[in-house]
Amino acid sequence: MGEHHHYRVCPLCEATCGLELTLAAGQVTRVRGDADDVFSRGFICPKGAALGELHADPDRLRAPHVKTATGHVATTWEDALARVDAGLRGVLAAHGRDAVAVYLGNPNVHTLAGQLYVKALLRAHPTKNLYTASTVDQMPRHVSSGLLFGDPDAITVPDLDRADLLVVVGANPVVSNGSLCTAPDFLGRLKALRARGGRLVVVDPRRTRTADLADEHLVVRPGSDAWLLAAIVNVLFAEDRVRLGALEGRVTGVDAVRAFAAPFTPERVAARVGVPAERVRALARALSDAPRAAVYARLGSCTSRFGTVANWLVDVVNALTGNLDREGGAMFPRPFFRPVRERADTAGRGFRMGRWSSRVRGAAGGPARAPGGDARRRDRDPGRRPGARARDHRREPGALAAGRRAPRARPRGARLHGRRRPVPERDDAPRRRRPAAARAARAGAVRPRLHGARRPERRALRAASRAARRRPARRGEILLALAGILGGAASSWRRSPTTSSRRPSSRASSPPRARRSRAWTRPRSTRRSPRAAAPSASSTSCCAPAPYGDHFGRRPGGLTLADVEAAPHGVDLGPLAPRLDEVLQTPSGRVELAPAVLIAEGPVLEHALDEPEEPGLRLLGRRTLRSNNSWMHNLPGLVSGKPRCTLQVHPEDAARLGLADGASARVTSAAGTLSAPVEVTDRVPVGVVSLPHGWGHGAPGARLRVAAEHAGVNLNAVVDPEPLDRLSGNAVLNGVPVTIHAE
């Protein structure tokens, strides 16, 4: 049998690299970067290259499992869904829809099915108790964007390919491949920046691989970004360096920002930030002098107590230096799937915060509008609650999870093990779901893989579909079936999930197995493919009504799905362009640089400067090139080599604490304790230790044989779930105070 090549988009991370898959005899025999891909140009990382191995992993679950007295047992999807239906129906009837919480894990945002059908599920089941990985990740960014621009999804990305100065705060894109900045081959782009005479500054407590590349590395104390950025703003005003550029007249609140920053002189914050005042001042001057500069902040800036303040100040600095919405600065990408809004001016409804608080512990809700939500449906959009507190729902009657490994993803996740769960949960099932790329390549099961880079640094639109679409992707079917169940459409999901919410079945009371109910697993010509479903599941998700689309023929020359399908290596939509007026939805119709809730944080931030720091070392997480949060650890090709789940300790701390390289250390925090092997290294500064997250595969019942041999420990066993970023409810995952003892 001959070889076939298929072009797909890697579903593992935001870089969205184009892949060339080689198939022979139904097996993926090779995965390479697609050299002709308009966006990634052949780049691939070790995880993408391992997709074939992931596809073939014998431990990957290929069927749903139900929990029995003797452990988890494989079953059919019909049976699994019938049980979910039976279990949830009772809970919904007795306690109402808020009794069923939903947790959405990270992979949902990397597949077409996730993007389309999760929306359908949430619309069918608008529970207040929605938890997502966003609140252990990027919620501060959404809140600050909501307040500044009126849209929590209006997230600026650095224009990497044209910037002269890039300041990276709390991100390690050389390893993570970038986040909230879709840019395949981030490393290559950073090298290109330097090669054209640009400068790279990295702000990170650890000497990361990105820091290795930088012209300057500011080794900050964990959790201190808000002070550093406030001091930069302070210098911009004090030295009369504020230049709004094209933003002149389109911004409110400049004076309030000046007053906010007044107390935070570089001298005042130096000790707390851990960087001498002169270097802070020099960075502010460099940002103001550079022809085109961008501050880019990510995970490390979000997972701290002042995460929202820090993320707000990032765009404040971008605005005050004239770099917001400017080429080479911090720009707004134009996603292919958002509708074009016809409107007379830039004013909108703005953004409200926290509508409810948790019934269980009074935790603040997330923003009123869920990221990814559509402005027009604000009132029905359930918003998000702190993922760090999802475990509160174990005390409540129902919980449903999609695409998550929450126990390892959330603070104190370890505690979830062994808890009784009310329904056979989906999170047990998908431990090794087929990667979309490899899966899409299976002959006969190909569906369009429309992939518009989520927040592209350069926009690209790609479809990877060659064959006719015979049936919806399994992922989509499952999500629609769950939507049918949760939407109270009785058992109609058995007939056809795509229509279930409109056609409740009258046979709901008959025993599930007695019915002929395999329609949803069997392709039918009447069934709609994701492509056909797209306009109804989400009117924004098909290319026709979207910004580049032909608007069903009304805009000749616009893109059609056929154009996209005819370009297996992608359609290049050109470089980023200024588009602030399209983005703004604030009540004033301007960039509201000084939202009251953020200005009110000034005294809190100032007071915190003088608070004595908690004693102990500070624990940081880290990502490694061959992991993807909690997964990819069951692949021999990725997990072999030096142990990666090590506790990095600076040589001076190691000597002081009597810790030898390779020996075991006990790490204790207010939340818990764990043991890990020590790696003595100056990649971490004195006073800071680091352990990667996503490990701890030795839990009873786990059936990942390779991962179990390299189990590692779960960092989140010692991450305290109590502290949250006040304004966004984001978990404080980094800078955890710990004590360490040799064992």
Ligand X SMILES: Nc1nc2c(c(=O)[nH]1)N[C@H]1C(S)=C(S)[C@@H](COP(=O)(O)OP(=O)(O)OC[C@H]3O[C@@H](n4cnc5c(=O)[nH]c(N)nc54)[C@H](O)[C@@H]3O)O[C@H]1N2
Q: How many helices (H) and strands (E) does the chain have?
A: 25, 25
Specify the residue, 311 or 629, whose C-beta has the smaller distance to ligand SF4: 629
Stretch that binds Mo ion, among 131-139, 698-706, 707-715, 727-735 (CB under 5 A): 131-139
Residue 223 interacts, among ligand X, ligand SF4, Mo ion, none and using kind-specific CB cut-offs from 5 to 8 Å, with ligand X
Does the footprint of ligand X cover residue 406 (CB under 6 A)?
Answer: yes
H/E run at residue 53:
helix 51-56
Looking at residue 509, what DSSP letter applies? T
Query: Where would I find the beta strands (DSSP E) of 225-285?
Result: 251-252
Asked if 300 touches ligand X (CB under 6 A), the answer is yes
Rounded-to-10 torsion of CA 97, 101, 107, 110: 30
Q: What minimum distance in Å lies between the beta carbon of 348 and ligand X?
A: 28
CB 411 within 8 A of CB 721: yes
Question: Which backbone phi and psi does 145 adopt, to 5 degrees?
Answer: -65, -40
> How many other C-beta atoms lie within 10 A of the C-beta of residue 91?
18
Helices (H), 127-219: 139-149, 173-176, 186-195, 209-213
Is 705:639 a contact under the CB 8 Å cutoff?
no
Helix 225-238 × helix 266-273 angle, to 10°: 160
- x/- mask, ligand X, residues 224-263, rule CB under 6 A, reads -x--------------------------------------
Roughly what angle, to the nearest 10 degrees, separates helices 277-289 and 225-238?
60
How would you classify residue 628: left for phi > 0, otherwise alpha for psi between -120 and 50, otherwise beta?
A: beta
When asked if residue 181 is in the footprint of ligand SF4 (CB under 6 A), the reply is no
Instruction: Give the one residue of 6, 7, 17, 132 binding ligand SF4; rule: CB under 6 A.
Output: 17
Q: What are the respective helix, strand and coil percentages of the chain, to the nearest 5? A: 35, 15, 50
Of 47, 123, 432, 439, the one binding ligand SF4 (CB under 6 A) is 47
Closest approach of Mo ion to the CB of residue 630, in Å = 11
What residues contact residue 27 under an 8 Å CB cut-off, 6+ apart?
A: 52, 56
Q: Is 315 in the site for Mo ion (CB under 5 A)?
A: no
Comparing CB distances to ligand SF4, the nearer of 13 and 247 is 13
Q: What is the CA 557 to chain-centroid distance, rounded? A: 34
Q: Least distance from C-beta 180 to ligand SF4, angstroms? A: 14
List the one residue from 156, 177, 288, 529 that touches ligand SF4 (CB under 6 A): 177
Is residue 137 a contact point for Mo ion (CB under 5 A)? yes
Site track for ligand X across 688-707, x = CB under 6 A: -----xx-------------
Structure tokens at 313: 């100040």
In the complex with ligand X, which residue's Cβ is closer, 290 or 436?
436
Largest interatomic CA distance in the chain: 78
Note whether 719 binds ligand X by CB under 6 A. yes
Window contacting ligand SF4 (CB under 6 A); options: 41-49, 223-231, 325-333, 605-613 = 41-49
What is the Cα–Cα distance from 217 to 230, expressed in whole angstroms?
19
320, 318, 336: which is closest to 158 by C-alpha? Answer: 318
Minimum gap (Å) between residue 54 Cβ and ligand SF4? 11
Check residue 627 for interaction with ligand X (CB under 6 A).
Answer: yes
Cβ at position 85, least distance to ligand X in Å: 18
Element (H, E) at 596: helix 596-599
Q: How many residues bind ligand SF4 (CB under 6 A)?
A: 12
- Tell me: does residue 13 bind ligand SF4 (CB under 6 A): yes
Query: Quick one: what does residue 17 bind among ligand X, Mo ion, ligand SF4, none, with the CB cut-off 5 to 8 Å set by partner type?
Result: ligand SF4
Does residue 546 belong to the site contacting ligand SF4 (CB under 6 A)? no
The answer to whether 78 contacts ligand X (rule: CB under 6 A) is: no
Q: Which of 23, 402, 533, 598 binds ligand X (CB under 6 A)?
A: 402
**Cβ count within 10 A of residue 10:** 28
Helix (H) or strand (E) segment spanning residue 580: helix 580-583
Residue from 8, 28, 34, 48 touching ligand SF4 (CB under 6 A): that is 48
CA–CA separation, 188 and 132 (whole Å): 31
Please report, as ranges, the residues that interact with ligand X according to CB under 6 A: 13, 105-107, 111, 133, 136-137, 169-173, 175-177, 179, 203-206, 208, 220, 222-223, 225, 298-301, 304, 402-406, 409, 430-433, 475, 620-621, 623, 625, 627-631, 693-694, 715-716, 719, 733-735
Please report, as ranges, the residues that interact with Mo ion according to CB under 5 A: 137
Please report, as ranges, the residues that interact with ligand SF4 according to CB under 6 A: 10, 12-13, 15-17, 44-45, 47-48, 177, 184
